[in-house]
Amino acid sequence: MKEILRLGFILMLICAVAAGALAYTNQVTSAIIEKRIQEEKIALMQELFPDVKETEDKTVDGRTATVGYDEGGNVVGILAEGKTTGYGGDIRFNLGIDGEGKIVKLTIVSHSETAGLGSVIAEDSYRAQYEGLTIGDSFNVDRISGATISSRAMESGVESELQEILLRFGEGFAAPAPAVNIEELANGTYTGSGEGLYSTITVEVTVAEGKITDVQVVSGSDTEEYFAQAKNTIPQRIVDEQKIDVDVASGATFSSKGIKDAVLNALQQ
């Protein structure tokens, strides 16, 4: 019995020493890795933005970015991750944005698009089309043959994420989208349009006593299955929640966005 206790005590000591050594090694290794990541980040910032003298990791509204400053403290570059939904699921990408709010680099972090079709989004020739674009430009680049959804996902995703990144980290490069105060709208029916996956979507929005009482999708010719899902979901959500930025219908991202954009367009007129 004493021998068992002695062996158990020895084993406990060995485990304690091993755990302590492992924790120390992990602490040292984590610091080394973090230092290497920072060095690589600064090197990339200096490669993209030669005037960078100092970098800062910032978090605003839950989003993070690395912002580069010149000697005068002016923003000369931003690195941030964006996300959009493609045919196969989420597409994650990094945007390098210069001091004028223009895209200088677009890289794909991860995607699940169809090999040989949507996967073309990761090729240099496709990504290079976004370089030089900024807010207000057309993001309708040359689309990938046979991969309309992947193409549209990238076009709308890069454009909207650029806007969101610059709003938070661009220090004046982007202005917030005009807000609509539904309670101040006059009674009546408003007509507006937005872009779906394959077509322009037109809606009629009825406002009465400071509330949206009805949203009718008048026209549009997206893929029928998904368009029908969006039509049956988004208008009612807008009425129920009394806001335009409602959750999209599952599997019908672009038709949903087109309807929401059309409602916003109608109420901004």
Tell me the C-alpha to C-alpha distance, in Å, between residue 172 and each of 165, 166, 169, 194: 11, 8, 9, 27
Least confident of 116-125, 127-136, 153-162, 249-258: 249-258
Most confident of 53-57, 140-144, 174-178, 208-212: 208-212
Separation between Cα atoms, residue 119 and residue 171, nearest integer Å: 34
* Cα 251 from chain centre: 17
CA count, 13 A, side-chain hemisphere, 263: 30
**Which pLDDT score, from 0 to 100, does residue 29 have?**
73
pLDDT tens column, 34-66: 677 667 667 777 888 888 888 889 999 888 899
Give domain limits for the chain.
54-169, 182-268
Crossing angle (nearest 10°) for helices 253-268 and 148-169: 50
The token pair that represents 210 in the structure block: 């400071």
**pLDDT over 80 at 10, yes or no:** no
- Single out the residue of 157, 152, 248, 247 nearest to residue 198, CA to CA: 152
Separation between Cα atoms, residue 226 and residue 111, nearest integer Å: 22
Q: Mean pLDDT over residues 98-111, rounded?
A: 91
- Assess contact for 48 and 41: CB atoms under 8 A: no
Domain 182-268: which topology? Sufe protein. Chain: A (3.90.1010)
**Dihedral through CA 232, CA 237, CA 243, CA 244, nearest 10?**
-30
**pLDDT over 70 at 97, yes or no:** yes
**Which pLDDT score, from 0 to 100, does residue 223 have?**
83
**Which pLDDT score, from 0 to 100, does residue 216 have?**
96
Instruction: Please give the mean pLDDT across all residues of the chain.
Output: 85
Residue that is written with structure tokens 């973090």 in the block: 34
The 211-219 sheet, strands edge to edge: 188-195, 200-208, 211-219
Q: How confident is the model at residue 267 (pLDDT cuts 50, 70, 90)?
A: very high
**pLDDT over 70 at 133, yes or no:** yes
**Which pLDDT score, from 0 to 100, does residue 242 have?**
93
**pLDDT over 90 at 263, yes or no:** yes
β partners of residue 82: 93
**How many Cβ atoms are within 10 Å of 267's Cβ, its own excluded?**
17
Q: Mean pLDDT over residues 117-146, rounded?
A: 90
E strand residue ranges, the chain: 54-60, 63-69, 75-85, 90-98, 103-110, 188-195, 200-208, 211-219
Least confident of 28-37, 129-138, 233-242: 28-37
pLDDT tens column, 193-252: 998 888 899 999 999 999 999 999 999 988 888 899 999 999 999 999 999 988 888 778
**pLDDT over 80 at 1, yes or no:** no
Angle at 113 between CA 109 and CA 116, to 5 degrees: 110
Separation between Cα atoms, residue 119 and residue 147, nearest integer Å: 9
Tell me the C-alpha to C-alpha distance, in Å, between residue 46 and each of 21, 43, 70, 96: 37, 5, 10, 11
**pLDDT over 80 at 148, yes or no:** yes
